[in-house]
Amino acid sequence: MLTLWDMMLPRRARKPAAVVKPDAGPGVVAPRPVKKSARPAPGSAQARYDEMTRVMLARYGVRVRKWRTSMSGVAWQVTYRDGTVSNLIEAPRPKGPMSAAVFLHEIGHHAIGFHTYSPRCLEEYHAWRYSLEQMEAWGLNVTDRVRERMHDSLHYAVEKALRRGLKRLPEELAPFAEPRVRVSRSA
């Protein structure tokens, strides 16, 4: 049992509590059960997602502020007084095609650079394009749901830009001016 004093010690200095067998005599301590490794099997899909995550974060010097449980994300930069810049994102941890696409989309904002494209909806387009290109380069599955998410996201960005007075829609965004035709999935 941990005491209040044990809690004040750094984690590394704490000794694990012993497991006592209920049927053993006094003072007999059973060995701790061996924990299975939390690492995915080499070559598994999760191992590829983990490797992609590690490489992409290192490549662009991005730090994850928070792993989100929802399929949403945000990317930003902080410039400090001394001139150093921190690249940050919040995104879901890549565990499947959709979470990988959202994660790579946020990485894409750092890869293409903020304020490189104008209007903002064009920057969103290039971040999504980067995401899908990286998924294909890493051999990750780009599902129809991912493509639908991209379309819905870009349609929203275009609608928002038009509401705010966008005069001329860039050519790349023309396919996203109309909402996609929804197909029933309950068949």
State which amino acid sits at residue 13.
A
Query: In this predicted model, what pLDDT tens digit does every residue of 85-98 receive, in sequence order?
Result: 999 999 999 999 99
Q: Across the chain, what does the average pLDDT equal? A: 86
Which is more confident, 15 or 172? 172
pLDDT at 30: 53
State which amino acid sits at residue 80.
Y
Decide if 32 contacts 62 (C-beta within 8 A): no
Decide if 50 contacts 64 (C-beta within 8 A): no
pLDDT at 182: 77
Name the pTM for this structure: 0.76
For CA atoms 94, 128, 87, 160, the dihedral sign is negative
Question: Does the pLDDT of residue 36 top 70, yes or no?
Answer: no
- pLDDT band, very low/low/confident/very high, at 83 (cuts 50, 70, 90): very high
Q: How many Cβ atoms from other residues are within 10 Å of residue 147's Cβ?
A: 14
pLDDT at 40: 74
Question: Does the pLDDT of residue 51 top 80, yes or no?
Answer: yes
Q: What separation in angstroms does the CA of 127 have from each of 18, 59, 67, 121? A: 51, 16, 19, 10
pLDDT at 5: 61
pLDDT at 4: 64
